[in-house]
Structure 1
Amino acid sequence: MYPSVTRWKTVLRTTALSLLAAVAAVGVGAGPASAADGNVAWTVRTASNGYGEARSSYSYNVNPGGAVEDAMVVANRGPSPLTLSVYAADGFTTDAGQLDLLTKDKKSTAVGAWVKAKAESVVIQPGKTAQVPFTIGVPDNATPGDYVGGILTALTQADQAEGINVDRRLGIRIKLRVGGELKPNLAIEDLHVTYAGSANPFGKGDATITYKVHNVGNAALSGQQAVSVSGPFGLLRVRARDIAAPPELLPGESWNVTVPVHGVAPAISLASTATLTPLLTDASGSTTSLKPVTVTAHGWALPWTLVLALVVLAAALVGAYLYRRRNRTQRKVREDARVRDAVAQALRGQEPQTS
């Protein structure tokens, strides 16, 4: 299942426009989320209602044009009143393979645009809780499939020592499946294999396989991977071990994969095969394996030290041959010259004497 709650810390540099600088830290937890930095302390959790009690996150199945109503509970655990802004944002998978939400200055086009909180801010007294209702309205023309986002609370405070504004965000994930035909599909793209041999001309080396896992369907998918490398006709096959699974990718997202394979023989021509089995998780948490996707690419695996030795040997043989040929030619030239001289002398000895 998805991690239920995510904690973000955003740094705002002090400028005239107070521009967003960076998301500084991310954390996840399985229970209610809490933010405690300095004098700030609050928690968020899902409300108990007809959708369930003690839910770890929000999950809905809604048809295009449909709507749902729910609520988030915010509790002030600190000694001072809190005024928190409330907003929603689209989710995305980071380069580290974690789910994150767009910052408030970034435009959301799906969950972040469809979720409307009853109020844009909420004031909570110390030790008290407040329920924040929200509505999700799915457009009539929404494309079927999976969408992920979140509803967040945020507090901005000035840090005089650092000269910055610190924006602390705390939210709960929303997973939404829009009704219609579900087309889960992962693709393997840009498969390449490279080879690095050893100094030993008859030793084995390492192959590196790179490719991209691309979610080309409309459902959130993870997957199981298998990679192997073989020589011509499938001989000398070596399988990669302990390949990390890609994170669950949202529709349209990609994930770059690099797999090292050790102990590969320099078989001149290598065939690299990557197999990806998509995994689809339903609302109950049950996972289904889909039809595997297999792609093969070819590369060269030349034993360069052996090739170099053969080139040197060939060069030596060619040089020896040319040297011998040159010597034979020179000897023939000298022999022909000697014969010509001998013939000339003989002819001069036979010339008639004049008185």
Structure 2
Amino acid sequence: MDRRAAAARRRRSAAAVLAGVVAALLSTAPAGALEAPDGAAPVEPVPVGEPVSWGVAPASAPTFDLVLDPGATVTDELVVTNHGDVPLDLAVYAADAFTSPTGALDVLPAGTPSEDLGAWITPDAARVAVGPDERVTVPFTLTVPAGATPGDHTAALVTSLVTGAGEGGVAVDRRLGTRVLVRVAGDLVPSAAITAVHAAYTGAWNPAGTGDAQVSYTVTNTGNVRLKGPLSATVASGVGSVSVPLGDLPELLPGGAITLTGTVSGVAPLGWLRASVTLTPVVATPASTTLPDGAASHPVPLATGEGHLWAVPWSALALATLLVGAVLGWRALRRRARVRFEAAVDAALAAR
């Protein structure tokens, strides 16, 4: 027993020492230690509570929206403006953009290597110091690889500020950027696909009424240019159909996908129905005046996806069931009353 107790004490002591070592390591790690983008020095957090505000914008045009040939090189500048009262030390880098699940444009986090347009852009400085109410320009170079694929490529020039949350707290990486759009000259192949169409029916309490079909679907940009355009949905049976607009598709980058939902109202509960979603794609037009003639009007085939759903008239079935039950109950009562009457008659005759 003494040996087992001593061993248990040694195990508890070892665990306590290990916990102390881990706590010491955590206490020496700087709050807000975030991985800096390639080429940038580690970002020191700004003290918590300091109000900061800054903006970024292209220096020479409303947007960075270019049409370039493979192998082309351009230079431009990003303007960074400090709207606050404290000096800012910002990291500056480029990162590939992608379509988020909500349809918004998002960029890769710091430290994640870019493989497309974000890797083609090189800022002249990895960091920029901006004093209060000061504007600073950050030159950059954009070089399109000679073997770049034709079509649209999207990235963002990002400025990053790490805000500390106090000793032992969690740092927050505040990022502000402006997108860079490059359409590499060559064959434009606009195309889209609609898949995973699922529908479910919600009927009305009125047995003679109609209901709603909830439709979900996924739109994928299978081409090499940015797409947008109106969406519509149709629910059809053998005796008619109902079609409704579903709004416009958010601008979808090449290779991007987004799952959306919509409602088709006024659907009659006619059993096994077909639900279809259609996109009329439109090529997003660059703001650049160097866009080749006719490129924006490139014909794009419609994209359509289909699914099925059961639209069962549950309220009508329930009413019919109640009616049938009432009729059967009434007939049963009639039979029982007749049996009792006949029994009473027989008893009266027997008593004579």
Normalising to structure 1: TM-score of the pair?
A: 0.69
> Is the Cα contact below 8 Å between 2:213 and 2:265 reproduced in 1?
yes
Question: How many angstroms does 1:195 deviate by?
Answer: 1.9
Larger RCO, structures 1/2 (Cα 8 Å, 6+ apart): 2
Cα distance in 2 for partners of 1:56, 1:162 equals 42
| Separation (CA, whole Å) in 2 of partners of 1:15 and 1:139 | 44
Residue 284 of structure 2 corresponds to: 281
Q: How far 1:44 sits from its partner (Å)?
A: 2.4
The two structures, once aligned, show a CA RMSD in angstroms of 3.3
Contact 1:59 1:175 in 2 (8 A): yes
> 1:38 aligned to 2:50?
yes
Q: What letter corresponds to residue 106 of structure 1 in structure 2?
A: T
Whole-angstrom CA distance in 1 between matches of 2:134 and 2:93 = 21
1:34-73 correspondence to structure 2 within 5 Å: 38-48=50-60, 55-73=61-79
The one-letter amino acid paired with 2:50 is G
How far apart are the structure 2 equivalents of 1:204 and 1:295?
Answer: 24
Report the equivalent of 2:308: 298
1:246 CA drift (Å): 2.0
CA distance in 1, matches of 2:94, 2:28: 25
How far, CA to CA, are the matches of 1:110 and 1:120 in structure 2?
19
Quote the Cα distance in structure 1 between the aligned partners of 2:182 and 2:143.
11
Distance 1:80-1:228 versus aligned 2 partners, 3 A rule: closer
1:96-111 equivalence runs, <5 A: 96-111=102-117
- DSSP 3-state at the match of 1:112: helix
Compute the displacement of 1:183 (Å): 0.5
- 8 Å CA contact 1:146–1:219 kept in 2: the answer is yes
Give distance in 1, aligned partners of 2:207 and 2:53: 64
> What percent of counterpart residues are identical?
38
Q: Give, in whole Å, the separation in 1 of the partners of 2:28 and 2:180.
A: 33
**Residues in 2 aligned to 1:181 and 1:15: alpha-carbon distance in whole angstroms:** 55
- Counterpart-to-counterpart distance in 2, 1:274 and 1:74: 44
- 1:167 equivalent to 2:173? Answer yes
Shift of 1:196: 2.6
Q: Partner residue of 1:330?
A: none
How many correspondences in the alignment? 284
Q: Which one has the largest radius of gyration?
A: 1
Question: Which amino acid in structure 1 is aligned with residue 52 of structure 2?
Answer: V
Contact 2:251–2:284 (CA<8 Å) still a contact in 1? no
Which aligned pairs between 1:2-41 and structure 2 lie closer than 5 A?
16=29, 18=32, 38-41=50-53
- Alpha carbons 1:246, 1:255 under 8 Å: kept: no
Q: Given that residues 76 and 139 in structure 2 are in contact (C-alpha distance below 8 angstroms), is that contact kept between their aligned partners in structure 1? A: yes
Q: Which residue of 2 aligns with 1:145?
A: 151
Q: Is the 8 A contact 1:236 1:265 kept in 2?
A: no
- Is the 8 Å Cα contact of residues 238 and 264 (structure 1) preserved in structure 2? yes
Structure 1 residues 1-355: aligned runs within 5 Å: 16=29, 18=32, 38-48=50-60, 55-160=61-166, 163-232=169-238, 235-241=239-245, 243-284=246-287, 288=297, 290-307=300-317
Quote the Cα distance in structure 2 between the aligned partners of 1:162 and 1:56: 42
Q: Alpha-carbon deviation of 1:69?
A: 1.2
SS in 1 for 2:62: coil
Partner-residue secondary structure (3-state), 2:240? coil
Task: Give the partner amino acid of 1:159.
Answer: A
Q: Partner letter of residue 259 of structure 1?
A: G
Tell me if the contact between 2:121 and 2:143 (Cα under 8 Å) persists in the aligned partners. Answer: yes
Instruction: Find the aligned partners of 1:274 and 1:61 in 2 and give their Cα distance.
Output: 33
CA distance in 2, matches of 1:131, 1:143: 30
Contact 1:44–1:74 (CA under 8 A) maintained in structure 2: yes
| Change over 3 Å in CA distance of 1:211–1:110 after alignment to 2 | same
| CA distance 1:15–1:144, shift in 2 (3 Å) | farther
Equivalent residues of 2:225, 2:284 under 8 A apart: no
Q: 1:162 to 1:249 in 2, by over 3 A?
A: farther
- The structure with the largest helix share of the pair is 2
Contact persistence 2:200–2:310 (CA under 8 A)? yes
Tell me the distance in 2 between the aligned counterparts of 1:82 and 1:19.
17
Q: 1:68 to 1:265 in 2, by over 3 A?
A: same
CA positional deviation for 1:309 = 6.5
Post-superposition offset of 1:131: 2.0
When you count strand as a share of all residues, which structure comes out higher?
1
* 2-structure distance, mates of 1:19, 1:161: 12
Amino acid corresponding to residue 240 of structure 1 in structure 2: V
8 Å contact from structure 1 (residues 211, 258) kept in 2: yes
SS in 1 for 2:171: strand
